[in-house]
């Protein structure tokens, strides 16, 4: 299929059923017990510093592992798999001194995912597989000071964040992704820089792709790390006219549900959710079993809260299989029509009818 045909198929599938996203990448890579040599390969064998833990780099040094993980999630029932590019920006990769490798990481990450998706689509034509270009958060924030004694201090400018995301999204587009997924958003201003980078691609002659935006509620307060409520966050990003908006990470399904319900009430687009496998235990591990995750997300689907479901930290292909099995045949959430109004946001939402 051409990319235009894939996007049309994606939108048709979203109208027909609840779509399934993949699960955690970090936990699956950790299970491989990889050594420093796996991350270095031949290309980075002389790079200074430790590279172990830079999982995005495996797109270049161990593409076989990345392809196997895409295949595992597609086999488990995922319609959409993310590129292994969560931290593949020049700002994030600067911590390893690998800014020069950013374009190649994103390009190869997209190509690996594209090849796997196309192979599964050919194998099962009635269930096309799609690729989401993963655009994760940065280790710096535009909305919050980097110095407790100086409220105006910032380590980066908006222009620097924009340029970092622009490099990433160009490479993901060139590699063949079907949509962009700005995820695990802790700072809405960082997200706005990513949105602008994506929207500006059209001015450069790139084919426009669907945008999926997923924020993170960091604790029981129901706010993002930069302080916004769910409704304020939605008001801040709605101008992008996203294909989907949702929440991921941080909270397990039990604690995330009220925030997803609020988003389902106010968002006039598809709503997604991919929670962690519960909260981590004292050892930092996740104890929630696949059937437990599947059962809770089935309830969300049955109650009409979601259009896309998947998993974040601690979830595995087995978790995704249970989720896919649990929601099979359940109708997706109807997208509501909201009356026209001026809706603004700071930390709180503000509406003028």
Neighbours of 153 (CB within 10 A): 11
The distance of Cα 21 from the centroid of its chain, to the nearest Å, equals 9
Residue 312 is labelled as binding a ligand: yes
Q: E strands, the chain, where?
A: 19-20, 80-82, 130-135, 179-185, 211-215, 244-252, 270-276, 308-309, 342-345, 349-352
CB 314 within 8 A of CB 27: yes
User: What are the residues whose beta carbons fall under 8 Å from the beta carbon of 222, sequence distance 6 or more?
Assistant: 229, 230, 258, 259, 262
Pick the closest to residue 116 from 78, 144, 173 (CA basis): 78
What the block records as the tokens of 196 is 């602008």
Residues 6+ apart with CB under 8 A from 300: 253, 257, 260, 273, 306, 309
CB atoms within 10 A of CB 274: 30
Angle, helices 290-302/317-327, rounded to nearest 10 degrees: 30
Q: What 3-state DSSP class applies to 310? A: coil
Query: Is residue 313 annotated as involved in ligand binding?
Result: yes
Instruction: Provide the angle, in degrees to the nearest 10, between the axes of the packed helices 253-266 and 230-237.
Output: 50
Q: Are 196 and 188 in contact (CB under 8 A)?
A: no
CA distance 61 to 73: 21
Residue for token pair 């992008």: 240
Binding residues, by number, are 249, 312-313
Binding residues for Zn(2+), by number, are 249, 312-313
């Amino acid at each position: 299929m051409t990319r235009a045909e894939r996007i049309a198929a994606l939108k048709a599938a979203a109208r027909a059923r609840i779509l399934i996203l993949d699960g955690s990448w970090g936990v699956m890579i950790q299970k491989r017990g990889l050594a420093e040599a796996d991350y270095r390969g031949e290309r980075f064998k002389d790079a200074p510093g430790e590279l172990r833990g830079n999982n995005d780099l495996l797109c270049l040094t161990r593409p076989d592992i990345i392809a196997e993980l895409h295949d595992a999630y597609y086999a488990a029932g995922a319609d959409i798999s993310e590129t292994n590019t969560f931290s593949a920006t020049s700002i994030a990769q600067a911590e390893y001194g690998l800014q020069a490798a950013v374009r190649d990481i994103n390009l190869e990450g997209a190509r690996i995912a594209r090849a796997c998706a196309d192979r599964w689509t050919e194998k099962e034509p009635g269930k096309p597989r799609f690729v989401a270009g993963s655009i994760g958060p940065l280790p710096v924030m535009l909305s919050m000071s980097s110095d407790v004694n100086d409220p105006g201090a910032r380590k980066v400018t908006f222009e620097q964040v924009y340029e970092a995301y622009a490099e990433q999204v160009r490479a993901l587009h060139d590699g063949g992704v079907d949509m962009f997924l700005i995820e695990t958003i802790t700072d809405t201003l960082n997200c706005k820089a990513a949105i602008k980078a994506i929207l500006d691609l059209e001015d450069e002659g790139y084919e426009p792709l669907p945008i999926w935006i997923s924020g993170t509620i960091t604790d029981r307060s129901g706010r993002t790390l930069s302080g916004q409520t769910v409704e304020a966050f939605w008001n801040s990003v709605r101008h992008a006219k996203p294909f989907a908006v949702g929440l991921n990470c941080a909270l397990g399904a039990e604690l995330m549900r009220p925030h997803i319900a609020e988003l389902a009430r106010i968002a006039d687009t598809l709503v997604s959710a991919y929670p962690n496998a519960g909260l981590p235990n004292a050892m930092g591990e996740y104890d929630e079993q696949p059937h437990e995750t599947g059962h809770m997300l089935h309830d969300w689907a049955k109650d009409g809260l979601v259009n896309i479901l998947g998993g974040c930290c601690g979830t595995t292909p087995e978790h995704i299989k249970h989720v896919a099995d649990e929601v099979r045949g359940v109708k997706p959430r109807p997208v509501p029509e909201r009356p026209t109004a001026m809706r603004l946001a700071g930390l709180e939402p503000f509406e003028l009818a």
